[in-house]
Amino acid sequence: MKIPLSSANVDLQSALSGKRRIIALNKKDLANPNIMRRWIQYFERSKQDSLSISAHSRSSVKELLTLVELKLKEVISREPTLLVMVVGVPNIGKSALINSIHRIAASRFPVQEKIKRATVGPLPGVTQDIAGYKIANQPSIYVLDTPGVLVPSIPDIETGLKLALTGAVKDSVVGEERLAKYFLAVLNNRSTPLHWKNLDNEERSRPPFDPRMRNKSILKHDVQRRKLLLDDSDVRYVEGFVKEVRRTLYATFSSFEGDLMEENELECLIDTQLAALQELFKISTKSEEGARTMVSKKLITLFRTGKLGPFVLDDVPDASGHIS
């Protein structure tokens, strides 16, 4: 979960206050584990049960189910039917979690009818109806997959950018270049590129990376390619691609002599970085705007798939509730 607070729906809090609830911090494989531990501690201080999970990991989802059963222990003994609802912003992994839960449930008790699967996809808005999936007998427990729910009005621009950057809002609504610039602003303000300094000191025993070496880029949505296992050359291609992006961002950041606290100077650095990435990707179009959009899409994809490293965009509030 890259945005534990920005993804919260304040308008639902009153409706959920009387319900048994668990905050599932999904996509833990894409987040910094040390920061995630701090988030778990934050929710513990707030008297809220939480667990960091990966919806595609069987062991992780089983751990979540154990916690759910514990929360429902009293009710299970007296209610013939229970409903469990999965609620969250769009594209956060709700349907993937439902499918994992259903697979685990199917292994625990016989299922007479064909197992229904929740529809998943890389874009927000795939789930459009509330659907129920039976996951247990005695008592009968149904889990409801719901469409992503956003607040009617986003409280501030930065929250909106975080939601869009993580895919809760369609990229076209905000604009890919604006999202890429926001991501670079976050990286630069945190001095993240400095962590990649040692890349230049690594032994370069492999041939130099060339984005033109293949037509089948990892950033293209090729259905047939996704079905194939990565071979060694593919892995080397991905690693080389990511290393060169990191080296480029480090080089531009380390040579920057301006003040990051000055908005205009930070924008100059970001423009320099986008131009350097455009050269790295060897993107050439008649339209500068079109080239920037293509660069931005590639950078956003690298962020969302965790290729550039684990990030949590939200800062953890301290004990007094202030952002640290």
Question: Which amino acids are annotated as binding site for GTP, given as ranges?
Answer: 26-29, 148
Residue 227 CA to residue 303 CA, distance in Å, equals 22
Sequence ranges of the binding site: 26-29, 148
Nearest to 226 by CA among 211, 212, 240, 216: 216
Q: In this structure, what token pair is assigned to residue 86?
A: 């999965």
Which residues fall within 8 angstroms of residue 33, CB to CB, at 6 or more apart?
Answer: 310
Asked if 96 and 153 touch (Cβ cutoff 8 Å), the reply is no
Neighbours of 135 (CB within 10 A): 23
Residue 277 CA to residue 265 CA, distance in Å, equals 19
Residue 188 CA to residue 270 CA, distance in Å, equals 9
Which residues fall within 8 angstroms of residue 271, CB to CB, at 6 or more apart?
Answer: none
Which residue in the block uniquely carries the two structure tokens 């060169």? 244
Of the chain, the end-to-end C-alpha distance in Å amounts to: 18
> Cα separations (Å) of 2 from 9, 77, 85, 159, 195?
15, 37, 22, 12, 19
Which residue in the block uniquely carries the two structure tokens 């625990």? 108
Residue 147 CA to residue 141 CA, distance in Å, equals 20
Q: In this structure, what token pair is assigned to residue 115?
A: 């197992």
> Could you tell me how many helices (H) and strands (E) the chain has, helices first?
12, 5
175: left (phi over 0), alpha (psi -120 to 50) or beta: left
